[in-house]
Amino acid sequence: MASNGGMVLVIKAPRGTHDILPSEMEKWHYVEEVARKVASDYGYKEIRTPIFEHTELFSRGIGDTTDIVEKEMYTFKDKGGRSITLRPEGTASIVRAIGEHKLYGKGKLQKLFMIGPMFRYERPQSGRYRQFWQLDFEAIGSSDPYLDVEIIALSVEIFSRLGLKGLSVELNSVGCPKCRPKYKELLKDYLRPYFDDLCESCQSRFDRNVLRILDCKNEGCRRITESAPRMVDYLCEECSWHFEEVKKGLNSLGIPYKINHRLVRGLDYYTKTAYEVISGELGAQNAVCGGGRYDGLSEDIGGPSIPGVGFAAGVERIVLTMEQQEVAFPRSRGMEYFVVVLDSRYKEFAARVVYELRHRGIYADMDYFGRSLKAQMRYADTMGARKVVFVGQEEVDSGMAKVKDMQTGEQVEVEWGKIGNE
């Protein structure tokens, strides 16, 4: 707290950020634990890249005319005068790392995942933050459409193991540098007569990023784009084959999906497959996960040509959906022993007992407020302690601990040092 002209200013977390408090953290750990298990079942290894990168990585990778690069990056000059940006997403960094450490080559596939915070200067609302966390999965090194299928299956597997229901996969193909430019021109030709009826942002997207007009939420724009030409009808032979293979693969795994012709994603690096996993519970920010293929990304950032496919899922949105669907989270670890000090002269002894129990991997605790016996018992109960151990003159002198089971009320005597075997 700082005082300012008689007024007290309370410092709060910056707008769009949030504290993840211990009660919430347990849910996060569970989500991460499930994601890590699925990663290991699918053969994905963890990678951690820096939280900040050279700004150029994102301006070249994500695309100069995207909302992220134009409006949402936390960019600053460091003390050496370099332009630095807090990462708004993880894919560009991971692809950079693969190139930088020469982890690519013929027949080499890098299957990687990363869990960490991302930063975007967006308008905060439910499910949208300025610092948020993503689970990022990337398979880099092959252009096989069955890798796209694997990535989609992997994301769906995480959500289904977490117990999420009613999610849907939306799929599209955004083509490649061979077929997309022609489609963009066709789309512009179609939209030109309606230009004045488009919303202001779509008018400005017309020249810079015409594909984004397709996913504008504005009702008027949606009516106009309803019968716009569809990318999938203008794919080149290779992209068309790829799209068919991905659909075939998903069909054979029994993973339901819907084709969404409006799905273009907010990052320029996507080629061919683009997909999202949508939750009905999330309202306007309804995507729990988004991803696709990015065969040109590595070259865009000045690296070698390496194809790749991946997805990112928002941890806040996963937890939010789980809460709204009342999916059970595992219960947190309960306290095993609470050591009750009956006589403050034996506090030192009690502290040693607690220390030794903990050393043996047993969750034990004691009182630090000089509470009465009754208050200590009440506290042990609030903490959900399974058993309490009494420390007083009699127990110390006799060498026998009294251990009481909080549930049954049963009390037994056991040698100090053998607590846990009673």
How is the beta sheet containing 271-279 ordered, strand by strand? Answer: 45-46, 110-119, 131-140, 308-314, 287-293, 271-279, 167-173, 257-259
Exactly one of 111, 242, 293, 317 binds ligand AMP (CB under 6 A); which one? 317
Nearest distance from residue 116's CB to ligand AMP, in Å?
12
**CB burial string 252-277: b at 16+ within 10 A, e below:** eeebebeebbbbbbbbbbbbbbbbbb
Choose which of 138, 170, 268, 316 interacts with ligand AMP (CB under 6 A).
316
Q: Is 312 near ligand AMP (CB under 6 A)?
A: yes
Binding map of ligand AMP across residues 89-118, x = CB under 6 A, - = no contact: x-----------------------------
120 lies in the site for ligand AMP, by CB under 6 A = yes
Identify which range of 3-11, 78-86, 99-107, 313-321 contacts ligand AMP by CB under 6 A: 313-321
Task: Tell me if 294 contacts ligand AMP by CB under 6 A.
Answer: no
Tell me whether residue 202 or residue 288 sits nearer to ligand AMP (CB atom).
288
Q: Is 137 in the site for ligand AMP (CB under 6 A)?
A: no
The helix or strand, by DSSP H or E, that contains position 397, with its residue range, turns out to be: helix 393-398
Across the strands, what pairs with 134?
A: 116, 314
Only segment of 59-67, 119-127, 348-356, 394-402 that touches ligand AMP (CB under 6 A): 119-127
* 116-131 burial: b if 16+ Cβ within 10 Å, else e: bebbbbbeeeebbbbb
Interhelix angle 145-161/22-42, rounded to 10 degrees, is 140
Residue 70 touches ligand AMP, criterion: CB under 6 A: no
Residue 132 binding ligand AMP, by CB under 6 A:
yes
- Does 147 interact with ligand AMP (rule: CB under 6 A)? no
Would you say 109 and 280 are in contact if contact means Cβ atoms under 8 Å apart? no
State the Rg of the chain over Cα.
28
Q: Which residues contact 176 (CB under 8 A, 6 or more apart)?
A: 236, 238, 239, 271, 272, 295, 296
Look at strands 364-366 and 337-341 and give their pairing: parallel
**Candidate residues 122, 245, 300, 343; the one interacting with ligand AMP per rule CB under 6 A:** 122
Measured CA to CA in angstroms, residue 12 lies from 84, 124, 130 at distances of 25, 15, 15
CB of 32 vs ligand AMP, minimal distance in Å: 15
Given the rule CB under 6 A, which of 155-163, 182-190, 288-296, 350-358 is the region that contacts ligand AMP? 288-296
Pairing of strands 287-293, 337-341: unpaired
Our finding on whether 287 is near ligand AMP (CB under 6 A) is yes
63, 99, 145, 266: which one contacts ligand AMP (CB under 6 A)?
Answer: 266
User: Rule CB under 6 A: is residue 61 a binding residue for ligand AMP?
Assistant: no
Determine, following the binding rule CB under 6 A, whether residue 296 of this chain makes contact with ligand AMP: no
Of 329, 375, 368, the residue nearest 350 (C-alpha)? 368
Closer to ligand AMP by CB, 271 or 376: give it.
271
**Count of residues interacting with ligand AMP (CB under 6 A):** 18
Binding site for ligand AMP (CB under 6 A): 89, 120, 122, 127-129, 132, 134, 266, 287-290, 312-314, 316-317
